[in-house]
């Protein structure tokens, strides 16, 4: 299973926000816990439905989204006037059910 296969988007769960597959934990929830100083071990202990792979998938998802955003911004600022830009998909590699 690829790392990003662990992230799902379902409009009926958490308003369609990306979640760790099989949970209601959003990528933002998990990243927020880590950013707030919670260790991976604490996160796994507090939320036993999560796995180490889920946490890695959230980090990968966030990194890829940020990279796509930076590329998109770069394309918009460096494109000559009158030139068309190509919008990158927001959630490439994300499976919806």
Cα(first)–Cα(last) distance of the chain, in Å? Answer: 17
State which fold the 3-96 domain adopts.
Arc Repressor Mutant, subunit A (1.10.10)
The pair of structure tokens assigned to 73 is 């911004």
> Within the chain, what is the greatest distance between any pair of CA atoms?
54
Residue 30 near residue 55, CB atoms below 8 Å: yes
Please tell me the predicted confidence (pLDDT) of residue 29: 97
Q: Write out pLDDT tens, residues 3-58.
A: 889 999 999 999 999 999 999 999 999 999 999 999 999 999 999 999 999 999 99
pLDDT tops 60 at residue 88: no
């Amino acid at each position: 299973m690829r790392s990003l296969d662990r992230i799902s988007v379902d409009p009926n769960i958490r308003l369609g926000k990306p979640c760790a597959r099989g949970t209601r934990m959003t990528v933002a929830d998990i990243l927020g816990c880590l950013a707030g100083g919670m260790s991976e071990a604490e996160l796994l202990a507090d939320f036993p439905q999560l796995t180490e792979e889920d946490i890695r998938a959230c980090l990968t998802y966030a990194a890829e989204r940020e990279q796509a955003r930076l590329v998109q911004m770069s394309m918009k600022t460096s494109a000559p006037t009158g030139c068309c830009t190509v919008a990158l998909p927001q959630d490439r590699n994300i499976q919806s059910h």
